[in-house]
Amino acid sequence: MKKRNVGLSFWVLLAAIVLYLNYSQATKVSDEEISYDKFRILLDAGKIISVEIVKDETIKGSYRSDGKSVNFKTPYLDDKDLIKDMQTAGVSYAGKTGGKWLTNLLFSFGPILLFILAWFIFATKMSGGSKQIFSFGKSRAQNAVKVETTFADVAGCDEVKDELVEVIAFLKNPEKFQKLGGRIPKGVILYGEPGTGKTLLARAIAGEAKVPFFTSSGSEFVEMFVGVGASRVRDLFQMAKSQAPAVIFVDEIDAVGRHRGAGIGGGHDEREQTLNQLLVGMDGFDPNTNVIVIAATNRPDILDPALLRPGRFDRHIHIPKPNIKEREDILKVHAKKIKMEENIDLEIIARRTPGFVGSDLANIINEAALLAARKNKESVEMIDLEEAIDRVLAGPEKKSRVMRESEKKIICYHESGHALVAKLMPDGDTVHKVSIIPRGPALGYTLQLPLEDRFIASKDELINKIKTLLGGRSAEKIVFKQFSTGASNDLEKATEIAHSMVTQYGMSSRVGPAVFKDSQDSVFLGMDISKGSRVSEKMKQVIDEEIRNIIMKAERDAESVIIRNRKYLDVIAGELEKRETLTANDLDNIMKGKELAPLPKPMPKAENKTEDAETGQDSTGGVAKTADAGKDIGEKSSGEETDEQKETA
């Protein structure tokens, strides 16, 4: 049974009892001691009001005096006529009952007993299991003693694992490092984009380490009561030091470690007190030579500099997105738990998922298993994995959405324009699939996949992406002599890429090699808002002109490509209208002038209610996840590209 924390409760109850007794003594009226003879005189005079004989030793009661009631007591004598005389005088008589000691006891201590009972009922209700009342200052961290995850369950991140294995080795055998004069690192911070495996690595450390491993999160330190956060930090470090060597893991440390003094009106005092205590705990006047702090965050840029300096978080380890080989390894780890066909090639799936992180890949495996189970299959097949990727990239199929023939034709030419321009751009990404099957909010999409992972992008590559984005709009202009709303997201992405080229990447001769980007950092994320705009009005006009020139030239080039290859555009659009989906092999055969395989016999389709598509709303879809230059940069939409990506230099 867990030991009940009653320290504060005991002293509160003791104080309540003392106050009650003092009050009882202060308000208690003293009984007047009279002789037995006087008692008999008062009785004969009819002034006795009530009498109570206590244990045959004392007579207590009250009598009238000047219109008032006075309590008295007198010794009890063996008077045989006493009871008869009291009955004759009509005196209220309690008899030889031995006194109302039980009643007196209840009246004296009953309120205290009720107070104690109410107190413990309240404490039990507020305790919440292990959280005792008034234990707000205690750390919520727990010793992770039953973690079964090891580094064998973490695919990829080999360099990161080497760093962490060294930290564990120091804890297990510090003499190996100290004999050369080295000291144990005080802290290791893991940072990277969401889903890259920071918390999974922490669980693996807990599983590998044979030392106490205390886990907590940044949000658990700060409560509504002032001083609670700092108290919990102190308690956490005391727990770790008492069992040293030990490891403390703090997940999402940015909840408590943000830059001090940031924002309008100063910082949050309670959060800053908590941060100050954390700084002292990691490297204060009392050094913790055998406690290592490991933290994880998605936002290292908003952490306080004092937290990141050597002596506190000595090592900053970036958890990058996995490359193609690491994605294949991650897929293999998650596939161990799923029953799959033997002919499944996970390398193909890894190649189809550039820019995906570990959580995305785990989701794909799970979605494939759900799809196979929905179809009553015995095992997961390759087609299920392909379908799972499409669901993640573009959303579920909207089989009930029936489009008008005129809309379907526009979408076919729009997607064909994307695909044709993408196929003919030099050094462009491979067009993996073109589809007009509605998925999620999108009425169609074109998916491009890079042949290999890319980390930078050249000016020509960015311009080619803009041309591909504008290929659908250009096809509509050439074929239908007008535009539709389906290109709105294409224009948004094209403008975004062109803006980055001009303002961030220095790819404009007029603007030059300089960055002209106003800070958009939020004041609540710990950023300084005192800096004014670094872009003059004249420069803003030049930037706008350069962005417009890039987009207009790219559109003219896209139109020129489509006009020169109009015959391929018509064939692709025609086949897309009949088949609804074209693969990379289908596009290659069309460009080579080959006939495509005949369509299978169509299955009968149920009539569905046609959705109103003439609302004037944007018919484009959301962002599909593909990668280029280490970013999630795909686009999918009605008449929009799913491969266009948000570039970074």
Which residues are identified as catalytic? Answer: 415
Find out whether 327 and 335 touch, Cβ atoms under 8 Å: no
The single-letter DSSP state of residue 210 is: -
The single-letter DSSP state of residue 545 is: H
Find out whether 292 and 186 touch, Cβ atoms under 8 Å: yes
Find out whether 260 and 275 touch, Cβ atoms under 8 Å: yes
Contacts (Cβ under 8 Å, ≥6 apart) of 20 = 111, 112
Q: Indicate the length of the chain as a whole number.
A: 649
Find out whether 498 and 547 touch, Cβ atoms under 8 Å: yes
373-388: b (≥16 Cβ within 10 Å) or e: eeeeeeebbbebbbbb
Find out whether 442 and 622 touch, Cβ atoms under 8 Å: yes
Tell me how far apart the alpha carbons of residues 353 and 392 are, in angstroms, rounded to a whole number: 10
Q: What secondary structure does DSSP assign to 374-443, as a single string? A: HTT-SSB-HHHHHHHHHHHHH-SB-TT-B--HHHHHHHHHHHHHHHHHHHHSTTPPEEEEEE-S-BTTBS
56-67: b (≥16 Cβ within 10 Å) or e: eeebbbbbeeee
Amino acid letter for position 291: V
Radius of gyration (Cα) for the chain, nearest Å?
A: 41
Find out whether 502 and 508 touch, Cβ atoms under 8 Å: yes
The single-letter DSSP state of residue 643 is: S
Query: For 307, phi and psi rounded to 5 degrees?
Result: -75, -25
Q: Please name which of 75, 70, 76 lies closest in space to residue 30, comparing C-alpha atoms.
A: 70
Element (H, E) at 71: strand 68-75
What percent of the chain is helix, strand and coil (3-state, nearest 5)?
Answer: 45, 15, 40
Element (H, E) at 213: strand 213-217
The single-letter DSSP state of residue 539 is: H
